[in-house]
Amino acid sequence: MRRLRPVINTWVFRATMPPGVGKPAGRRGLLAGVLLLGLAACTTGGDISNPVTRKFTWFSFLNGDDIRADCAAGAPDRLRLVHNANYTHRVRVYDLTAVAPGGPTGVPPGIPMRMTTRVIGGPTNHALVTLGDPSSLFAPWAGEVRQTTLTPAQVGALRAVLDRDGLGQPAPAGTQLLSQRYWWVAVGCLGGRVAFQVWAHPDRGYDGLAFPAWLQARDGTDIPLRTPADEPQHANPAVMDRDYAKHEVRFRLAVGRDRLNP
């Protein structure tokens, strides 16, 4: 387990857990918060299907530690894009992996990529729990999951869209990512080299990004992208934010030159 130092006041655990885990109350909620504070930065293996494990490894998952560990010349191309749309309400994850090993310059032309989409937050489907199968207990909170295979032409189109959106440009070092805000994080191993980028609303041309709509149109979830316009309005935003903070999980991350820092 690799431990990262949390920022003071980074996490605020009150009446609810992160999306898809339920609502612990009182001392149980506080205990859950303490546990997550100590374990949230454990190194991820890339699997976030279990909502409990997901909370313990979320920072590492966002940072793509599992992708970085295997990134070297000849490694298959991989790409992870995570959309934080007010963390307590909606998180969307796209994991793309080449279906065949690459070479010194990554995946050669003609190689498709498998795309796994996971949308966490919103209504849960309790029908996913199967009697007699304890492993299905967390299924309603695992998120909506779809898999599809992008053709080589689609892979090329996505790479072109991402390039235009600035994937290959320097990340906005120093930017603060608040859990209650809207932002995208991209981390991947492309051509044997780590790629990293962040787009945060309202900076870095967030509203003009083209890749989110491209992905959503092909992910098969039928769940629209959540936008800042979907947030409820209040005559006094400061009061609304203070009220929400009482029952939301909140954290802050800082964007470094090539990674996220707690």
Helix H, strand E, coil C: the string for 92-147 is EEEEEEECCCCECCECCCCCCEEEEEEEECCCCCHHHCCCCCHHHCCHHHCCEEEE
User: How large is the average pLDDT for residues 130-149?
Assistant: 63
Give a yes or no: residue 57 inside a domain. Answer: no
| CA-derived radius of gyration, the chain | 18
Q: Can you tell me the distance from the alpha carbon of 211 to that of 188, in angstroms, rounded to the nearest whole number?
A: 15
Higher pLDDT, 240 or 215: 215
Q: What is the mean pLDDT of the chain?
A: 77
In Å, what is the CA distance from 75 to each residue of 80, 99, 157, 259? 15, 11, 21, 20
Structure confidence at residue 250 as a pLDDT band (50, 70, 90): confident
| CA 139 distance to own-chain centroid | 18
pTM of the model: 0.76
Higher pLDDT, 77 or 134: 77
Give a yes or no: residue 1 inside a domain. Answer: no
Give a yes or no: residue 99 inside a domain. Answer: yes
Give a yes or no: residue 102 inside a domain. Answer: yes
Give a yes or no: residue 32 inside a domain. Answer: no
Give a yes or no: residue 21 inside a domain. Answer: no
Range from 8-12, 67-71, 186-190 carrying the lowest mean pLDDT:
8-12
Structural domain boundaries, residue 237: 66-225+233-261
Q: Can you tell me the distance from the alpha carbon of 141 to that of 115, in angstroms, rounded to the nearest whole number?
A: 20
Structure confidence at residue 182 as a pLDDT band (50, 70, 90): very high
User: How large is the average pLDDT for residues 156-169?
Assistant: 96
Q: Can you tell me the distance from the alpha carbon of 92 to that of 216, in angstroms, rounded to the nearest whole number?
A: 10
Q: Which helix (H) or strand (E) holds 197?
A: strand 193-200
Most confident among 52-61, 136-145, 160-169 (mean pLDDT):
160-169
Give a yes or no: residue 7 inside a domain. Answer: no
What 3-state class would DSSP assign to 252?
Answer: strand
Domain count along the chain: 1
Give a yes or no: residue 247 inside a domain. Answer: yes
∠255-32-3 over CA atoms, to 5°?
A: 40
